[in-house]
């Protein structure tokens, strides 16, 4: 992968939960969509922009939460003592009012009532699913027979003598009757049937029974993948997103459902892209090249893999890697790699041992490999082929290459065996270690400094890179751009997160400095 995509992993950080989508085809318009959501000196973000991004990330989930609560709360009863217990636990963890409010805002809840409603929704869904489960007496009897019939037969076999029989009677617990364990067995069967697929289909049936329809094509297309029984409607609306027989759900309701949980992360991603695009150029060809590499590596699993990270379309995938490239450019500017560092890294690399190996389980096989090498004309090419054929570890697929390694990085037997070899030679006797038997081939890397410069820079930047360092850079850029949420609650949450990041980053830097000083002292002493 290209060196300028080191920051890719940071897109799942505290403030950034993936790329944002500005798809026009979402087609849900807020009446106040042009109002500012984030202000900055670089460029503002509107409510419509962040709403589109939130809908792309979690719009369907949010509308189903609204609908399910309304439908299921009228149909089922729940044990609210479970919720009271959960809230008591949270209050025990966050003892004072300030820390509890901080916990609520960090989780996307404006109040304890919102958290309670969220917990209630989960219980209502569970109640609906449990009500749909059917367990027959025959199934309970079969479960009982399977669980206890073995014990009965074992007891019957243990009656060879009166002494054995009395001993077993004392040691073996009496097998319960069916009536005594019927409720327990029924619950076990219910839990077995409450699969994710069953719950999803049950909730879909509950919605459709209540006359649930979606009036937005974008969300409707997503929902059809969840519910195979959903019947598409031709009706559409700009302001009403969904409806049931008893209620309508507007774009503004969906916005409010989304904004506390997703507004911060989506808003930050949007504004970061705008800020970074003002500072750094985007290499579109490099992004497309990287995406093509992923497509080749993942093959038919490419889209399924990307969907794990919330990336469902080519546009979202491109935006994801564009932001990663821009973040990496920012990191490279703030943590530059000097020529002196590169030269030192090159010299350290050249001083290291470099070897291939073929790891096998027994000495006889290792000697067989050595015999084949003795007969080969091109020793290194043959070694690679034999590594693929015989190798038992992960290096078999790349010709047994272990790369460069320094003092103490390998087990002593392997390290000493490699040191004893001349370059471009192999062991004439198997080298035994705790892992098995090794056949070792020592090689050298004749590449010049200029030839290795890009690779070394990438490695050094990887060593410098931490997610906290990247986040502090982005926080600095936002501060320089006078970044601010117009929503007071989101701004408060943002400031809390920033404070936590800055404290963690300061601690990390102190530990890094201390570790570097300790290493330097040790090297000086040696």
Give the pLDDT confidence of 417-471 residue by residue, as tens digits.
999 999 999 999 999 999 999 999 999 988 899 999 988 988 898 888 888 999 9
SS3 for 244? coil
Query: CB–CB of 481/40 below 8 Å?
Result: yes
**pTM score above 0.85:** no
**H helices of 299-337, where?**
302-307, 314-334
Rounded mean pLDDT, 23-50:
90
Final residue belonging to a domain, choices 397, 414, 442: 442
Q: Can you read off the two tokens belonging to residue 520? A: 């330097």
Count Cβ atoms below 10 Å from residue 471 Cβ, excluding itself. 22
Confidence of residue 6 (pLDDT cuts 50, 70, 90): very low
Q: Is position 153 within any domain?
A: yes
Comparing 13-27, 334-348, 366-380, the range with the smallest average pLDDT is 13-27
**What pLDDT score does 422 carry?**
94
- What contacts 353, CB < 8 A, 6 or more positions away? 404, 405, 406, 415, 418, 419, 442
Using CA atoms, how far residue 148 sits from 127, 142, 152, 157, in Å, is 30, 10, 6, 15
Q: Is the pLDDT of residue 32 over 90?
A: yes
Query: At 425, which CATH number?
Result: 3.10.50.40
Final residue belonging to a domain, choices 150, 175, 193: 193
* Nearest of 454, 118, 55 to residue 262 by alpha carbon: 55
Q: Is position 96 within any domain?
A: no
Q: Is the pLDDT of residue 20 over 80?
A: no
- The larger pLDDT score, comparing residue 167 to residue 412, is at 412
**What pLDDT score does 5 carry?**
40
Q: Is the pLDDT of residue 217 over 80?
A: yes
Q: Is the pLDDT of residue 158 over 80?
A: no
**What pLDDT score does 235 carry?**
79
Rounded mean pLDDT, 164-169:
48
Confidence of residue 110 (pLDDT cuts 50, 70, 90): confident
Q: How many domains does the chain have?
A: 2
Final residue belonging to a domain, choices 378, 409, 442: 442
Confidence of residue 522 (pLDDT cuts 50, 70, 90): low
Chain mean position to CA 21: 20
Query: CB–CB of 43/37 below 8 Å?
Result: no
Q: Is position 431 within any domain?
A: yes
DSSP 312: -
Q: Is the pLDDT of residue 184 over 70?
A: yes
Q: Can you read off the two tokens belonging to residue 16? A: 């950034």
- Average model confidence (pLDDT) across the chain: 87
Place of tokens 């984030």: 38
Q: Is position 394 within any domain?
A: yes
Terminal CA-CA length for the chain: 38
**What pLDDT score does 154 carry?**
52
Q: Is position 418 within any domain?
A: yes
Rounded mean pLDDT, 164-186:
73
Confidence of residue 172 (pLDDT cuts 50, 70, 90): low
Rounded mean pLDDT, 471-496:
93
**What pLDDT score does 80 carry?**
92
Q: Is position 469 within any domain?
A: no
Q: Is position 499 within any domain?
A: no
Chain mean position to CA 433: 36
Residue 161: give the domain boundaries: 137-193
Q: Is position 303 within any domain?
A: no
DSSP 36: E
Confidence of residue 297 (pLDDT cuts 50, 70, 90): confident
């Amino acid at each position: 992968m290209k060196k300028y995509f080191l920051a890719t992993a940071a897109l799942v950080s505290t403030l950034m939960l993936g790329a944002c989508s500005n798809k026009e085809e979402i087609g849900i318009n807020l009446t106040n969509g042009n109002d500012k959501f984030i202000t900055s000196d670089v460029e503002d973000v509107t409510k419509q922009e962040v709403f589109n991004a939130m809908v792309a990330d979690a719009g369907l989930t949010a509308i189903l939460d609204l609908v399910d609560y309304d439908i299921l709360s009228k149909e089922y009863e729940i044990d609210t003592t479970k919720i009271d217990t959960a809230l008591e636990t949270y209050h025990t963890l966050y003892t004072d009012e300030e820390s509890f409010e901080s916990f609520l805002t960090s989780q996307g809840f404006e109040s304890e009532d919102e958290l309670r409603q969220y917990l209630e929704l989960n219980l209502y869904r569970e109640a609906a699913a449990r009500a749909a489960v059917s367990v027959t007496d025959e199934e309970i009897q079969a479960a009982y027979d399977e669980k206890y019939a073995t014990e009965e037969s074992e007891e019957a076999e243990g009656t060879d003598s009166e002494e054995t029989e009395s001993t077993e009677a004392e040691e073996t617990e009496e097998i319960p009757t069916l009536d005594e364990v019927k409720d327990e067995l029924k619950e076990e069967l219910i839990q077995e049937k409450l699969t994710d697929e069953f719950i999803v289909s049950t909730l879909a049936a509950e919605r459709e029974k209540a006359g649930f329809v979606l009036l937005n094509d974008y969300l409707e297309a997503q929902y059809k993948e969840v519910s195979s029984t959903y019947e598409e409607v031709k009706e559409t609306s700009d302001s009403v997103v969904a409806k049931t027989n008893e209620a309508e759900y507007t774009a503004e309701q969906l916005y409010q459902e989304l904004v506390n949980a997703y507004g911060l992360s989506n808003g930050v991603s949007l504004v970061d892209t705008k800020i970074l695009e003002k500072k750094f150029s985007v290499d579109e060809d490099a992004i497309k090249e990287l995406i093509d590499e992923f497509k080749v590596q993942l093959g038919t699993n490419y889209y399924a893999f990307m969907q794990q990270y919330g990336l469902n379309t080519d546009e979202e995938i491109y935006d994801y890697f564009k932001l990663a490239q821009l973040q990496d450019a920012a990191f490279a500017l703030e943590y530059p790699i000097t020529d002196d560092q590169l030269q030192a890294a090159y010299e350290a690399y050249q001083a290291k041992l470099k070897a291939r190996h073929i790891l096998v389980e027994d000495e006889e096989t290792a000697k067989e490999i050595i015999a084949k090498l003795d007969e080969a004309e091109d020793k290194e090419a043959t070694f690679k082929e034999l590594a693929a054929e015989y190798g038992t570890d992960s290096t078999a697929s790349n010709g047994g290459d272990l790369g460069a390694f320094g003092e103490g990085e390998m087990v002593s037997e392997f390290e000493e065996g490699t040191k004893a070899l001349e370059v471009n030679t192999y062991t004439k006797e198997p080298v035994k270690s705790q892992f098995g038997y090794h056949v070792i081939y020592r090689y050298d890397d004749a590449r010049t400094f200029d030839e290795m410069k890009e690779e070394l820079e990438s490695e050094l930047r990887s060593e410098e890179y931490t997610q906290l360092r990247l986040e502090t850079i982005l926080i600095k850029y936002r501060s320089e751009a006078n970044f601010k949420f117009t929503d007071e609650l989101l701004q408060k949450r943002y400031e809390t997160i920033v404070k936590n990041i800055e404290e963690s980053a300061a601690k990390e830097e102190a530990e890094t400095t201390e570790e570097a000083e300790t290493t330097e002292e040790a090297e000086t002493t040696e």
